[in-house]
Amino acid sequence: MSDPTGPDLLDEQMDRRLREAGTNWRDGLPLPPPVAAPSSNPRRWLVPLTAAAAVAAIGGASFVAISHDNDRATFMPDPAHSGVSPTPCDRGSLEIVGSVVEERRNYRSTTGVIGLKGDQPCTLSGYPKAIPRGTGLDNSLVQYLAPDDPPATVLLTPKSRAVVTARVQLSGLDCLTASIDAVEVTLPNGDAGELAGIGGVCEPGRDAILMIEVLPISAEGAPLLEAAPATVSGTITLDGGPAPGQSIPVTSGEITFDGESSGAGASIDPGGTYEVQLAPGEYDVTVSTPDWNGGQTYSDGKYGVTGGTTATLDIHIPIR
């Protein structure tokens, strides 16, 4: 006689409970949605709402595919990626808006900030060309060092800029005769500009061999020109030339730039010219010269200075 509580009875009871639980679970499911009748066009398809949308990248913009009919796909632009991909920067679209000089232990560098002339974004990549200009330089002795950094593609927009950097080794120049007054650069797109000079970099008594490393175009990190000094120069003239309407240069005096937190002044040369280094900001400009009303001060109004730039401010003082 079999045991009523043996393994066979327990297995049967467990099977029954599992079947009842499965039936109750299926009975509790919601009814499936009705299936539409097949379309007469077998090539038309619809994406269920619960399916993931297919994203296609076309021409650099993202689109979401929503239907297909007669071999023609219909696309909806993705708002997060809509628009046309920027094209390479054309010649004439870029300019050097300013430059900054930095000195390190083994080299001195001049870095120019590249900006758009317009508002159309574009891309730039590659190595620029650089030629030093100055006194006591023999460009036939210039040695260009191969940079270690590979070129990358940089996007320029009205709010984002790129930089070009030329490094000069702190050796090989004769301090007494050689000075780099400027570095002319040609960008990969053909636009040319000028970087600030870096002066004399040398070890006294060495031959004037200039070693330059020109880095590939790169994106600007922290804005370089915000605190960099600017150079402002110009000519100051007076009415009273040899003929009506002509002017003559001031022969002496001083020009003053007075700002909220800083200021500077410069003497006026006999030819009426001046040059001054200024921090970025807005200044009240005045001129004092014995050539005008017995040395009275002439006010030329306000003048704004952008960091890292080279600007010209010519002043004409009228008769009064």
Q: What is the pLDDT of residues 291-318, one digit of tens each?
A: 988 889 999 999 998 877 788 999 999 8
Segments of the chain with pLDDT less than 50: 1-2, 7, 35, 37-83
Range of the structural domain that residue 193 is part of: 88-219
Count how many Cα atoms sit within 13 Å of the Cα of residue 21 in the half-sphere of its side chain.
6
Distance between CA 116 and CA 95 in Å, rounded? 6
**123 & 172 share domain:** yes
Could you say which of 164, 192, 219 is where a domain stops? Answer: 219
**283 & 169 share domain:** no
Could you say which of 164, 193, 219 is where a domain stops? Answer: 219
Give the DSSP H or E segment for 55: strand 55-58
pLDDT computed for residue 298 by the predictor:
94
Instruction: Give the DSSP per-residue string, 283-309.
Output: EEEEEE-TTSGGG-EEEEEEEEE-TT-
Can you tell me whether residue 19 is helix, strand or coil?
helix
**123 & 214 share domain:** yes
**237 & 214 share domain:** no
Note whether residue 142 is domain-resident: yes
Can you tell me whether residue 219 is helix, strand or coil?
strand
Note whether residue 80 is domain-resident: no
**179 & 234 share domain:** no
pLDDT computed for residue 303 by the predictor:
94
**93 & 212 share domain:** yes
**109 & 213 share domain:** yes
Distance between CA 179 and CA 89 in Å, rounded? 33
Distance between CA 129 and CA 164 in Å, rounded? 10
Note whether residue 185 is domain-resident: yes
Nearest to 318 by CA among 294, 293, 295, 281: 293
pLDDT computed for residue 157 by the predictor:
92
**278 & 188 share domain:** no
- Dihedral sign for Cα 288, 289, 290, 294, please: negative
Could you say which of 219, 243, 269 is where a domain stops? Answer: 219
**208 & 258 share domain:** no
**182 & 107 share domain:** yes
Count the domains in the chain. 2
